[in-house]
Structure 1
Amino acid sequence: MQGASMPNSPAQAHTSRLRLLLILSLLGVVLTAVVILIGVWTRLVDAGLGCPDWPGCYGRLVVPDAERAMAHSPHAPLESFKAWVEMIHRYVASALGLLVISLLALGAGLRRRPGYPWRANVALLAVILLQGAFGAFTVTLKLWPQVVTLHLLGGLTVLVLFLWLHLSLRRFAKGDGPGVPRRRLTPLWGLAMTLLVLQLALGGWVSSNYAGIACQGFPTCNGQWWPEMDWSEGFHLTQTVGPNYLHGQLHADARTAIHQGHRIGALLLGLALVMLAARYWGEARMRPWLGGLVVAYGIQLGLGIANVLMWLPLWLALLHTAGAVSLVLLLALATWHWRETAVEAVSSKRRDKEWVHV
């Protein structure tokens, strides 16, 4: 009996490993979204410098008492709540790094098989290491807006890579080889992606420069359609490294320019997404994804307006970030399914040919 079951054991091991990879990659999508939201929560409660050093907190792996904190960094008095918020963010982010390493180790034995997404594994490790560096620079450079914005974009990149890895693993599990043709992205898809990335960067720039309520009222800004703004200072990307950027360093007109830039970016992104949905609405398989994308954009727009009118409450700001995460995931899913419809068409043609021959 044991000898009869031996030939199936390699196949069973392969299936079990692939199933585990699918579960872990999907877990990575969820955990990355959680890390992003915790990171935004950390900023919103002004806990980004809750620990003055990195990777520990006052030289320790857990938040110490006030006496030990004072002995380590007398210039930075301990605020326990903020320190714990910052450390929770670091703990969860570290768990995400361990998950990436686990995926790489589990996938190493499959890397030579046709269609296995080994490059996505390696890219994910590279980006997560870069994210760790940005996390360190966020603290050591005292919330320098450039680093904070890149840290946000890096987190969203990790999110997309986890999703792409999971979808690629599902395709690999179904046996779709790398030689199957897939549609190339059109300029309209490229435009939508570019505008979404720019809008996400603008959102990070608004947050890191504390410009969320620089414009009061909507649709006007401070009672005007085009208020006084300092664009050159607001988007001066070579700000001095060194000052503490907690609560921002820019004057009011510069922050107003940043906020208005974010509003203009939202309008352009909305137009691009509507154009994308209109262009490919005739493809029945794409309607759920394109419809979901437009609906998510509408909700996100409403949340942004509500944040302005309600003076940026914590819960609403977190929902606005969750909306951004949803937009990223939905555009990535829409892109994937649009490319994969070519695979389905080829499979359908093959089935038709087989039926004709029969």
Structure 2
Amino acid sequence: MSTRIREYDAMAPGSRRLTWLLRLSLVGTVFTALVMLVGAWTRLVDAGLGCPDWPGCYGQLVVPGSDNASLAYPDSPLEPVKAWVEMVHRYIASLLGLLVIGIVLLGRQSRRDSGYPWKLSLALLGVIILQGAFGAFTVTLRLWPQVVTLHLLGGLSVLSLFLWLHLRLKRYASGGDGSPRRPSVGWGLAALVLVLQLALGGWVTSNYAGLACQGFPTCNSEWLPAMDWSEGFHLTQTVGPNYLHGKLHAEARTTIHFTHRLVALVLGVVLLGLVLRYRQSRVLRPYLASVLLVYAAQAAIGIANVLLWLPLWLALLHTAGAMLLAISLLLAFWRWRYEEAPNSVPNKHGLPQGISHEAIQG
């Protein structure tokens, strides 16, 4: 048996190692969504500074009693519920990091195999490490809006990378080896506007601007309210002592919220254009229809948040909608990327092109 065949046999589609990689990448995708929702809950209940230090809580790995907490940080009174919410978020985020490390170690033997997404695994590890650093800075920089926004984008990046890794592993297991399509302008524009809108959503929540525009479709009973663009998007502001509940004045917050609404409208137009561009594709139609459906639901949830004065459960649902929108667009792009890629269909044994069943046996 040749070296190439022995190397493939070790990672054959039915092998235990590849099966575990597929499972762990799928679990990682779902678990990342859970971690992000717990993080959103932590932010929404004002528990982001429930522990004044990092990675412990008042110098300990579990939430201490009030007496020990006051001795460690006398200027930060302990609120046990908020402290536990924050620590639970840290615990499960740490488990997610261990999961990524496990995937990297498990796939290390296949790092030289053609088609194995080794670089993608390393990229995921790098992003999860960076995300941990953002988590630390969120606390040490006292909810600085720039860091909170980057932390949200980092979570969405981890979610997207986990899903992409799972799809790549499935393709590797099936033996697909065709060249994928290069991204077109339409897909690139949709991705760019979506990332911008997600970043604006993070900027809205980190500056507590969710209710800066009251009413819909007008903002504070005006189609063009009073705004302060220079202050609303002053990205080089200094780190303050504490950004809990925000520091910007009303007109600056109105600017942030109003911009979020405008870009949401632009995103809808871009996504509709994508649907019209590929309306003839029977394969893509259900995927793009799902993208539009999720977008419409997300827009409705955003409007409801304003009209109902930002109830906690609905704000959390808005975060879930943002994740689902990113996932649905990513799945649609994946389907387009490999829809008609040449040589992308595996042979009848489910093995990569050029490796036959007889060769594996003998």
TM-score band (shorter)?
over 0.9
**C-alpha distance in structure 2 between counterparts of 1:11 and 1:238, whole Å:** 49
Residues 1:343 and 1:236: Cα distance change in structure 2 (over 3 Å): same
- 1:312-339 CA distances to partner (integer Å, 9 max, x unpaired)? 0000001000000000001111111100
2:183 paired with 1:171: no
Does 2:288 match 1:274?
no
- The secondary structure found in structure 2 opposite 1:342 is coil
Cα offset, 1:107, TM superposition: 0.3
Whole-angstrom distance in 1 between the partners of 2:181 and 2:204: 36
Once the two structures are superposed, residues 96-151 of structure 1 have per-residue CA deviations (whole angstroms, 9 ceiling, x without a partner) of 00000000010001111110000110000000000010000000000000000000
CA distance in 1, matches of 2:139, 2:41: 16
Contact 2:179/2:342 (8 A) holds in 1: no
Change (3 A) 1:251 1:64: same
Normalised TM-score (structure 1): 0.92
Change over 3 Å in CA distance of 1:305–1:136 after alignment to 2: same
Q: Is the 1:181–1:342 Cα contact (8 Å) retained in structure 2? A: no
The residue aligned with 2:120 is 120
Tell me the equivalent position of 1:152: 152
Deviation at 1:77, TM superposition (A): 0.3
- In structure 2, the partner of 1:103 is 103
The residue number in structure 2 matching 1:312 is 310
Higher relative CO (CA 8 A, sep ≥ 6), structure 1 or 2?
A: 2
Query: 1:206 — aligned with what?
Result: 204
- C-alpha separation in 1, matches of 2:72 and 2:60: 10
- C-alpha distance after superposition, 1:332-356 (max 9, x if no partner): 11111100012378649x9xxxxxx
Q: How big is each residue's C-alpha offset from its partner over 1:153-203, in whole Å with a ceiling of 9 and x where there is no partner?
A: 0000000000010000000000112xx122111111111000000000000
Find the counterpart in structure 2 of residue 16 from structure 1: 16
Shift of 1:281: 1.5
The list of structure 1 runs, each at least 4 consecutive aligned residues, that deviate by more than 4 angstroms after superposition, is: 8-14, 344-348
Equivalence for 1:295: 293
Distance (Å, rounded) in 2 between the aligned partners of 1:186 and 1:121 = 25
* Matching of residues 1-358 of structure 1 within 5 Å: 10=10, 15-177=15-177, 180-343=178-341, 347=345
Preserved CA contact (<8 Å) 2:13 2:19: no
Q: Deviations over 1:69-117 (max 9, x none)?
A: 0010000000000000000100010000000000001000111111000
8 Å contact 2:58–2:72 — kept in the other structure? yes
Separation (CA, whole Å) in 2 of partners of 1:199 and 1:30: 23
Residue 4 (structure 1) aligns with: none
Unaligned runs of 5+ in 1: 1-7, 351-358
Percent identity, aligned pairs only?
63
- Native 8 Å contact 2:226 2:251 kept in 1: yes
Q: Which amino acid aligns with 2:163?
A: L
> For 1:310 and 1:215, how far apart are their aligned partners in 2?
12
Tell me if structure 1 keeps the 8 A contact 2:204–2:256: yes
1:10–1:331: structure 2 CA closer, same or farther, 3 Å change rule?
closer
Asked if 2 retains the 8 angstrom alpha-carbon contact of 1:58 and 1:64, the reply is: yes
- Code of the residue aligned with 1:126 in structure 2: it is G
Distance 1:283 1:12 in 2: 33
Cα deviation for residue 290 of structure 1 reads 0.2
What is the SS of the residue equivalent to 1:81?
A: helix
Question: By percentage of residues, which structure has more helix?
Answer: 1
For residues 176-233 of structure 1, give each alpha carbon's deviation from its aligned partner in whole angstroms, at most 9, with x where no partner exists.
12xx122111111111000000000000000000000001100000100011111110
Distance change >3 Å, CA 314–CA 257, structure 1 → 2: same
Q: Describe the SS at the equivalent of 1:260.
A: helix
Q: Distance in 1 between matches of 2:334 and 2:342?
A: 13
Q: What TM-score results when the alignment is normalised by the length of structure 2?
A: 0.91
What is the CA RMSD across the aligned residues, in angstroms?
1.7
Distance 1:11 1:249 in 2: 54
Give, as a single letter, the amino acid of the residue that structure 2 aligns with 1:49.
L
> Partners of 1:165 and 1:316 in 2: how far apart?
31
Letter in 1 for 2:180: R
2:330 counterpart letter in structure 1 = A
| Aligned positions, number | 340
